[in-house]
Amino acid sequence: MKELIAYILQFDTLNKQQIDFVEKKAKAIVLHKEEYFSEAGKIPKQVGFVVEGVIRGCYYNNKGEEITRCFISENSLAVDYVNFEANTASSEYLQASTDCRLMVFSKQNWEELSQTIVGWESIQSKMVQKCLYQKSRKSPVISQDATTRYLEFMENYPSLINRIPLVHIASYLGVTQQSLSRIRKSIR
């Protein structure tokens, strides 16, 4: 819980009473490896904050291959916010890549925060923007070759390298697992 509060307080200050209210509305949950937090084709029902573990955003392309679109690690929001807000179906799965501990807000509780805490909308939008921004900043750069993309991945997500199956990293980087294995060998 304290991780969540610390995360929120980086965007604005809250008084004791407001912090209590946030804490009352958040619920701690555990996700086991490979469980889904939300699913493609369904309307996202909650906002998650990753306290421990890694969530993976993924989808199936038209060839039926599973593509990892993003990794969400500690101290980030796990939510397809645009579809959460608009009550529309998400196009991706959010799946636990490792066992995870999350703090979650139901849609109703999330809205109560807006209604109750003055300035929450502003905090909220900064949080969401930061997430979208970070996601794009950490994404593999399409104009770089596979080796460079892997090296940058290691810089951006040093803690993931030995926790996540190679296939998932490969699809995130846009290469086959064979290529990634070859790259791993070549940089050793």
Partner DNA sequence: GTCGCTTTTTACCAAATGGTAAACGGCTTC
Partner DNA sequence: GAAGCCGTTTACCATTTGGTAAAAAGCGAC
Residue ranges that bind DNA, judged by CB under 7 A? 145-147, 165-167, 174-185
Q: Which is nearer to DNA, 127 or 180 (CB)?
A: 180
Residues 6+ apart with CB under 8 A from 59: 40, 66, 67, 69, 91, 92, 93
Shortest distance in whole angstroms from residue 124 CB to a second copy:
7
Q: Which is nearer to DNA, 15 or 61 (CB)?
A: 61
Alpha helices (H) along the chain: 2-9, 16-25, 81-86, 107-116, 120-138, 146-156, 166-173, 177-186
Shortest distance in whole angstroms from residue 90 CB to a second copy:
12
Q: Which is nearer to a second copy, 91 or 159 (CB)?
A: 91
Helix (H) or strand (E) holding 49: strand 46-52
Shortest distance in whole angstroms from residue 91 CB to a second copy:
9
Q: Which is nearer to DNA, 25 or 149 (CB)?
A: 149
Report the partner that residue 100 touches, choosing among DNA, a second copy, none (CB closer than 5 to 8 A by kind): none
**CB atoms near residue 150 (< 10 Å):** 23
Q: Which of 99, 120, 98, 110 is nearest to 44 (CA)?
A: 110
In the complex, which residues of this chain contact a second copy (CB under 8 A)? 61, 65, 67, 81-82, 85, 121-122, 124-126, 128-130, 132-133, 135-136, 139-144, 171, 173-174
Q: Which is nearer to a second copy, 68 or 97 (CB)?
A: 68
- Distance of alpha carbon 96 from alpha carbon 99, whole angstroms: 6
Residues 3/51, Cβ–Cβ less than 8 Å = yes
Report the partner that residue 130 touches, choosing among a second copy, DNA, none (CB closer than 5 to 8 A by kind): a second copy
Report the partner that residue 147 touches, choosing among DNA, a second copy, none (CB closer than 5 to 8 A by kind): DNA
